[in-house]
């Protein structure tokens, strides 16, 4: 340890430093929307991104963005609000949900003016499509609310925001990895220590305000739909800064991902008449949902698949998946009605789904939990019996938990979330910058702490490999904290994850070169995932109810008396705390919890 | 069959640990293969891991040109829905598509 400390101290003297008004970590839609708001107001903004900005995960969002424009059918923001509250299984904060739904139409028009080529109706207005979970008139007929730019809405929004940021002279640090937040003794966030991946050089970015927009943590699970970059870096930085993260037990799973790979096979396949079978060829959904069978809701189908596999009725050499059967539909129907699925299955599995079955397993899709914020994007932490903003720290997008998604996110609300709260955070940061005109003095102790953590990976000798541990962590999370949750399984999960954390301490890098050392970045990402795995499994163990995406086989019902509250997980002592859901909207009546039936 | 034949005809050059320059090249390309979509990550990173040692200079340059493309277009190419104009990029796309199902 002595050696590592001295390395950290010598680095502190020679450390390169830059100063900005605002540091944005993450260049997806949330980070870029906030950066744009700030750069346009002449703030000096740095955006740090570990990959080239337009390769952020926002690019993968295909569905669209909800806004009650009422271009196709009657609609209004209040109906959208109702659907979002109900979709969240009443765990969403109703003030934030009202704010988001009211702002939605304005934000779509604003994006349009910035250059997003939304698809048009024949009369020239913005096209909208129907999506699950949307209703007219508070639970009535299907609503048509999702605005889309063909099937590449996220791509269009991300590229537009990037180009507008270039125009507004936002400063980009591409391929820089953020290591840790820097704080002073009064709890102000002063910026972050970053690492340039190409050169291996460290750069300390001092900022009056820091915004985390690092996306979700889908890589926690072996089977997931997320890009490999989604390792929850911002959430882990917050935990290490001594702050809590919220509602981590809520992770959205989609029932049919390609087994072992994770890519989504949409509900369309089952909608066309495809169904799931186990190793005995049994159409097992008939046992779990006699009426709806394979078209039961996502959580029911996901859980059924997990039970089949766990009870030894899984398919394949390892019995670790089930099959999606389409061959009975005939080649013409399969190829004509499901071309996207055919392309994907042919490319990744080398099989024709009209002839062979598709191996599937539930796939982790979206992190509902995250860094607790208020509706201005300010990160909040408990103080006495209430909560207060952490001065200088903001978070938006999937890494944040406002909470507008509560226990379950609706399709079309994630792109909306990032632009609404990206803009809101930008506005609040502007006000903060007006009131706080100077940088606070740097806190060397906090920088040294980050340097020491980094220097740990300079150790040589024998030790376990990072990639092996990451694989084991992902499998462990899938087995013990996936869709099949019970007290017994989760307790085992806690033990397993803590054992992995212990083993991570002994991991060693084989490659110690400075330039383009991607192995070091992957080690730092694994440390981040490990923090979040512990937070997730501990939060899930404590929540003794089933709500939204968190489904317990030993507590099958929602329990509003005891559990209508947000969880807060702290790294120190792995402590859990709780805070009330904000049931009071800004201007309308509250939506009280009701049974969630579709 | 054509894709398979073509892949087998590739000339083997030095392995990935032959020099530091090679290591750097591999690491730089592997970071370029980190994209915004899982589908691209799996296709590109898997390809690079398995095939980098067998790629010649022209093929590496074609791969670099391919990686400059935006994610949506890359997906179109790699799922076989759109054919690139650049002949050498067409070849590398075919190579990636054949390698995913027939790893050597």
- What pLDDT shows up at residue B101? 67
Beta carbons of B70 and A56 less than 8 Å apart: no
Q: How far apart are CA B21 and CA A108, in angstroms?
A: 47
Q: Does residue A359 surpass a pLDDT of 70?
A: yes
Task: Show the domains of chain A with their CATH numbers.
Answer: 254-363 (3.90.700.10)
Q: Which of A18-27, A261-270, A553-562, B27-36 has the lowest mean pLDDT?
A: A261-270
Q: What is the mean pLDDT of residues A297-325?
A: 91
In a domain, B32, yes or no: no
User: How many Cα atoms sit within 13 Å of A368 on the Cβ side?
Assistant: 28
Residue A577 CB neighbours (<10 A):
13
A-chain residue closest to B38, CA distance: A227
Residues 6+ away with beta carbon under 8 Å from A407: A88, A89, A90, A91, A247, A250, A368, A547, A548, A549, A550
Residue A515 DSSP one-character state: T
Overall number of domains in chain B: 1
A-chain residue closest to B81, CA distance: A343
**Greatest CA span in chain B, whole angstroms?**
38
Q: How far apart are CA A60 and CA A63, in angstroms?
A: 9
Q: How far apart are CA B13 and CA B60, in angstroms?
A: 11
CATH number at residue B85: 1.10.150.250
A-chain residue closest to B29, CA distance: A516
In a domain, B28, yes or no: no
Q: Which of A175, A344, A518 sits opposite B30 (nearest CB)?
A: A518
Q: How far apart are CA A28 and CA A269, in angstroms?
A: 30
Enumerate helices (H) and strands (E) in chain B, giving the number of each. Answer: 6, 0
Q: How far apart are CA B44 and CA B35, in angstroms?
A: 9
pLDDT digits over A520-536, tens only? 999 999 999 999 999 99
A566 close to A581: Cβ distance less than 8 angstroms: yes
In a domain, B96, yes or no: yes
Q: Which of A226, A347, A513 sits opposite B38 (nearest CB)?
A: A226
Apex A501 CA angle, A498 and A502, nearest 5:
90
- What pLDDT shows up at residue A270? 86
Q: Which of B31, B40, B41 sits opposite A518 (nearest CB)?
A: B31
Q: Does residue A1 surpass a pLDDT of 50?
A: no
CA-based nearest residue to A365, from A260, A257, A259: A257
A419 close to A105: Cβ distance less than 8 angstroms: no
Q: What is the mean pLDDT of residues A233-241?
A: 98
- What pLDDT shows up at residue A398? 98
Q: How far apart are CA A420 and CA A258, in angstroms?
A: 33
In a domain, B84, yes or no: yes
What is A77-112 written as a DSSP string?
HHHHHHHHHHHTTT-S-HHHHHHHHHHHHHHHHHHH
A319-351 b/e (C-beta count within 10 Å ≥ 16 → b) = bbbbbbbbeebeeeebeebbebbbbbbbbbbee
| Six-digit token string for B73 | 């277009």
| Six-digit token string for A356 | 């062979």
| Six-digit token string for A460 | 């040589």
Sort out which chain A residues have CB atoms less than 8 A from B24's CB and list them: 515-516
Q: Does residue A292 surpass a pLDDT of 60?
A: yes
In a domain, B15, yes or no: no
Percent of chain B's residues with pLDDT above 90:
67
**What phi, psi does B82 have (nearest 5°)?**
-135, 145
Q: What is the mean pLDDT of residues A501-520?
A: 94
In a domain, B91, yes or no: yes
In a domain, B18, yes or no: no
| Six-digit token string for A554 | 């030993």
Q: Which of A99-108, A289-298, A510-519, B65-74 has the lowest mean pLDDT?
A: A289-298
Quick one: pLDDT band at residue B22, thresholds 50, 70, 90? confident
- What pLDDT shows up at residue A340? 83
**What phi, psi does B6 have (nearest 5°)?**
-65, -40
Tell me which residue has tokens 């943590």.
A217
Positions of A marked catalytic: 298
Phi-psi region of A260 (alpha: psi -120 to 50; beta: other; left: phi over 0): left
CA-based nearest residue to A320, from A275, A279, A269, A274: A279
Q: Does residue A437 surpass a pLDDT of 60?
A: yes
Q: Which residues of chain A approach chain B closer than 8 Å at the C-beta?
A: 51, 54-60, 152, 155, 158-159, 175, 197-198, 224-229, 261-263, 343-344, 347-350, 511, 513, 515-518
Q: Which of B28, B34, B37 sits opposite A516 (nearest CB)?
A: B28
Q: Parallel, antiparallel, or unpaired: how do β-strands A371-372 and A400-401 relate?
A: parallel
- What pLDDT shows up at residue A10? 62
Q: Does residue A597 surpass a pLDDT of 80?
A: no
| Domain containing residue B66 | 1-9+39-104
- What pLDDT shows up at residue B16? 44
Q: Report helix, strand or coil for B95.
A: helix
What is A351-394 written as a DSSP string?
--TTTSPEEEEEEEEEE--BEEB-TTSEEEEEETTEEEEEEEEE
Tell whether B29 is within 8 A of chain A (Cβ). Answer: no
Q: What is the mean pLDDT of residues B84-101?
A: 91
Percent of chain A's residues with pLDDT above 90:
86
In a domain, B79, yes or no: yes
From residue A556, alpha-carbon distances to A302, A368, A488, A491 in Å are 15, 20, 15, 18
Q: How far apart are CA A468 and CA A382, in angstroms?
A: 37
Rg (CA), chain A: 24
- What pLDDT shows up at residue B5? 35
Beta carbons of A344 and B101 less than 8 Å apart: no
Q: Report helix, strand or coil for B6.
A: helix
> What end-to-end distance do the CA atoms of chain B give, in Å?
15
Q: Report helix, strand or coil for B33.
A: coil
pTM, entire model? 0.93
């Amino acid at each position: 340890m002595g050696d590592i400390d001295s390395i950290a101290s010598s680095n502190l003297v020679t450390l390169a430093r830059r100063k900005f008004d605002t540091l944005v970590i993450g260049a997806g839609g949330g980070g870029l929307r906030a950066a744009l708001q700030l750069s346009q107001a002449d703030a000096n903004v740095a955006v740090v991104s570990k990959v080239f900005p337009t390769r952020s995960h926002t690019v993968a969002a295909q569905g669209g963005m909800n806004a009650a424009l009422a271009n196709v059918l009657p609609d209004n923001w209040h109906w959208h609000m109702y659907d979002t509250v109900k979709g969240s299984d009443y765990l969403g904060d109703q003030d934030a949900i009202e704010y988001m739904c009211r702002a939605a139409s304005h934000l779509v028009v604003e994006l349009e003016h910035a250059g997003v080529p939304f698809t048009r109706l024949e009369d020239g207005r913005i096209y909208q499509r129907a999506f699950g979970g949307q209703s007219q008139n508070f639970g009535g007929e299907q609503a048509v609310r999702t605005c889309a730019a063909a099937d590449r809405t996220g791509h269009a929004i991300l590229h537009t925001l990037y180009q507008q940021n270039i125009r507004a002279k936002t400063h980009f640090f591409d391929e820089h990895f953020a290591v840790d937040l820097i704080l002073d003794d009064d709890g102000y966030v002063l910026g972050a220590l970053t690492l340039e991946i190409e050169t291996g050089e460290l750069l300390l970015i001092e900022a009056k305000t820091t915004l985390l927009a690092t996306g979700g943590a889908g890589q926690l699970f072996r089977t997931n739909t997320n890009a490999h970059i989604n390792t929850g870096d911002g959430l882990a930085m917050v935990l290490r800064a001594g702050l809590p993260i919220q509602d981590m037990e809520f992770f959205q799973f989609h029932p049919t991902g390609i087994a072992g790979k994770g890519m989504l096979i949409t509900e369309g396949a089952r909608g066309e008449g495809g169904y799931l079978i186990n190793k005995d060829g049994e159409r097992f959904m008939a046992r779990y949902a006699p009426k709806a069978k394979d078209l039961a809701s996502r959580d029911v189908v996901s859980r059924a698949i997990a039970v089949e596999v766990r009870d030894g009725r899984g398919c394949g050499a390892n019995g670790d998946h089930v099959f999606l059967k389409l061959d009975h539909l005939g080649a013409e129907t399969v190829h004509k009605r499901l071309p996207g699925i055919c392309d994907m299955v042919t490319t990744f599995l080398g099989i024709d789904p009209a002839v062979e079955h598709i191996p599937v397993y539930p796939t982790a899709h979206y992190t509902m939990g995250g860094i607790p914020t208020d509706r201005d994007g300010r990160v909040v932490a408990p103080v006495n019996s209430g909560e207060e903003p952490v001065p200088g720290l903001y978070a938006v997008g999937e890494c944040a938990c406002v909470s507008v998604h509560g226990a379950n996110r609706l399709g079309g609300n994630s792109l909306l979330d990032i632009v609404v709260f990206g803009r809101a955070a930008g506005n609040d940061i502007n006000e903060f910058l007006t009131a706080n005109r100077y940088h606070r003095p740097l806190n060397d102790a906090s920088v040294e702490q980050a340097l020491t953590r980094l220097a740990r990976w300079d150790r040589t000798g024998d030790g376990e490999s990072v990639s092996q541990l990451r694989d084991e962590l992902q499998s462990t999370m899938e087995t013990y904290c996936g869709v099949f949750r019970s007290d017994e399984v989760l307790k085992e999960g806690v033990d397993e994850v803590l054992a992995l954390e212990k083993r991570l301490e002994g991991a060693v890098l084989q490659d110690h070169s400075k330039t383009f050392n991607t192995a070091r970045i992957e080690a730092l990402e694994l440390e981040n995932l490990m923090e979040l795995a512990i937070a997730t499994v501990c939060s899930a163990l404590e929540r003794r109810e089933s709500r939204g995406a968190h489904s317990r086989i030993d507590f099958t019902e929602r329990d509003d008396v005891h559990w209508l509250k947000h969880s807060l997980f702290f790294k120190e002592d792995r402590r859990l705390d709780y805070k009330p859901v904000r049931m009071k909207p800004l201007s309308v009546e509250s939506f009280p919890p009701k049974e969630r039936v579709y | 069959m054509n894709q398979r034949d073509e892949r087998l005809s590739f000339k083997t050059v030095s392995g990935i640990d032959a020099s530091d320059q090679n290591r750097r090249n591999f690491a730089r390309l592997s970071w370029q293969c980190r994209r915004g979509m899982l589908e691209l990550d799996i296709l590109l990173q898997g390809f690079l891991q398995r095939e980098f040692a067998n790629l010649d200079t022209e093929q590496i340059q074609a791969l670099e040109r391919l990686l400059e493309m935006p994610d949506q277009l890359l997906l179109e190419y790699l799922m076989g829905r759109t054919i690139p104009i650049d002949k050498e990029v067409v070849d590398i796309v075919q190579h990636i598509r054949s390698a995913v199902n027939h790893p050597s």
